[in-house]
Chains A and B, each alone.
Chain A
Amino acid sequence: MFEASELNIRNRKIESLFRILFLLMAGLLILPVAIILAILTYKGSSVISMNFLFTSPTEGMTAGGIFPALIGTIWLVSVALLFSVPLGVAAAIYLSEYARDNWFTRIINLAIINLAGVPSIVHALFGVGAFVLFFRFGTCILAASLTLGIMTLPVVIVSTWNALQAVPMAFREACWNMGATKWQTIRKIVLPNSISGILTGIILMVSQTAGETAPIMFTGAAFFLPQLPQSVFDQTMAMSLHLFVLATQVPGVPEDVPYGVAFVLIALVLVMNSLSIAFRVYLRGRKKW
């Protein structure tokens, strides 16, 4: 009797020890985010102004704003999305809902895993070879966005696949039993109940895409190009490359400016993420199980 309760006390102590340990570990995660945000806000917010956001860089990029880079990033990300979202979601639907476990499916899965493991600089070289040279797009938004799109395809496929798999099998079977085709089941039950997960993956992909530098450097992003792109066959400036250039390539840039660019880039990503969270909360409010 007495021994058992001593054991209980010891177990309780170990239990709370581990809980605190894990809590600390999780808490540590906040630290880098907080520090980055603090530094960027502290050093960068002073340069943010309407002028900074909505004018072109001047005087060898040591003054003026970032408007062409901002617009360029939006172009690059949007065109990349137009390519990778339909393709990635379709591939994930095939893999999750239609594919049987055979050699073909296994090869596709292997390809996705390998694609995810390719470093971005290798994607850049592939983009140059395939889109710039072979398809003769030249260095332009289209070539850069396709490169970005291919690079982020695994993210879209895997996250969409996970979202689809989270829908209980019993729902599908109940539908099939009613005489629904696979596509009817996907449209009426599977997609409506996985859409928030799918969107999360897409938003993650947007954040990743907005920050990439290597894949666009040789395929479509320009060092300095004050006018805005008119079509996908134009080159463009981009936030990520602009930051890299200001921080390492151009002498005489005021110290605060790169921080300002980074601040805007992060703000862009944070806004996207918050939008997705808000949207997910909205969708979860309507979640049906």
Chain B
Amino acid sequence: MVTAMASLPHIDNPVKLAVKDVAISYGGRTVLESVTFDVHEHEIFGIIGPANSGKTSFLKTLNRMDIFNPSMTFTGQITFNDRDIRKWRNVYSLRKRIGVVFPLPVGLPLTVYENVALAPRLSGVTGKADLDIIVERCLERAALWDEVKDRLDSLGSLLSGGQQQRLTIARALSQEPELLMLDEFSIAVDPVTTMRIEDVLKKLKKEMTIVLVTNLVQQARRLADRMALFLDGEVVEVGITEDLFAGQVKDQRTKDYLDGRFG
């Protein structure tokens, strides 16, 4: 029986990120290959897969963090805004357009305020009034403002784990990113905060494109419009989340993985 494919409103949006036949290796050992998919503007693109399947390495490649690791190389083509990321005149402006949230919150050794003001400062915003507005707006959007508005001058590292993770989201937002990448953000966050952040992401989607790496299949189901499964060093499936969970898969391993029948 043929069921109709689910359709998505943003599938016709311009392509934000085009990944074509990408392979990543460390010191000649290939850890991920044949990655090919497009990410459209204003979608949440989920990436799921077991540990060591190359998810983090893939994110590092997207914002050219591979440059810092001489043993890390990638082949294939990635375009961001239709421009090959290898050909960006300066990688700093590429990275500024891509916000990153790590699995464990990295509160910079600065106050709450300075954590969020750092990126604008680096881009040349100096006025206190301008910074105040940016800081409040970003903390607001990360659903953290109410909790920290009275302690902006205390250290970011004194906040609770869940607050720190939202602080890193606020920090990423302060770059005014076009693309937000989250790497297993809920690993050290309590379930309630996880839900709050998920709500934040649903709202942020209206403003930007989101790539969400997660080890929680159900989180991908809740958030991702489309998603890819990384398995055994390759991409075994790319599809609309709804379809995949409805069983419309090209690869049997996807079904097993989504049903938790893996290993």
Chain A residues with CB under 8 Å of chain B are 100-101, 170-171, 173-181, 184, 188-189, 192-193, 287-289
Which B residues are in CB contact (< 8 Å) with A101?
70
The stretch from B33-41, B78-86, B102-110 touching chain A is B102-110
Which A residues are in CB contact (< 8 Å) with B122?
178-180, 184, 188
Chain B residues with CB under 8 Å of chain A are 63, 65, 68, 70, 92-96, 98-100, 102, 104, 106-111, 118-119, 121-123, 155, 157, 168, 171-172, 175
- Minimum CB–CB distance for B123 against chain A, Å: 8
Contact status A287-B109, CB under 8 Å: yes
- Minimum CB–CB distance for A180 against chain B, Å: 5
Nearest CB in chain A to that of B101: its residue: A177
- Minimum CB–CB distance for B51 against chain A, Å: 19
> In the complex, what distance in Å separates the CA atom of A177 from the CA atom of B155?
21
Contact status A189-B109, CB under 8 Å: yes
Contact status B171-A178, CB under 8 Å: yes
Which B residues are in CB contact (< 8 Å) with A173?
65, 68, 106
Q: Other than A177-B65, A178-B172, A179-B175, give 16 A-B pairs with Cβ distance below 8 A.
A: A171-B108, A173-B68, A174-B168, A175-B108, A177-B63, A177-B95, A177-B100, A178-B95, A178-B118, A179-B96, A179-B119, A193-B109, A288-B110, A289-B107, A289-B109, A289-B155
> In the complex, what distance in Å separates the CA atom of A176 from the CA atom of B65?
8
Nearest CB in chain B to that of A101: its residue: B70
Contact of A178 with B96 at beta-carbon distance under 8 Å, contacts A188-B118, A289-B155 already known: yes
- Minimum CB–CB distance for B142 against chain A, Å: 15
Partner of B106, one of A170, A181, A188, A288: A170
Contact status A171-B109, CB under 8 Å: yes
Contact status B155-A176, CB under 8 Å: no
Which B residues are in CB contact (< 8 Å) with A181?
92
| Most chain B beta carbons < 10 A, residue from A100, A179, A180, A192 | A179
Which B residues are in CB contact (< 8 Å) with A179?
92-96, 119, 122-123, 175
Nearest CB in chain B to that of A189: its residue: B108
Shortest beta-carbon contacts, A-B, top 4: A288-B109, A179-B96, A179-B95, A289-B109
> In the complex, what distance in Å separates the CA atom of A179 from the CA atom of B106?
16
- Minimum CB–CB distance for B56 against chain A, Å: 12
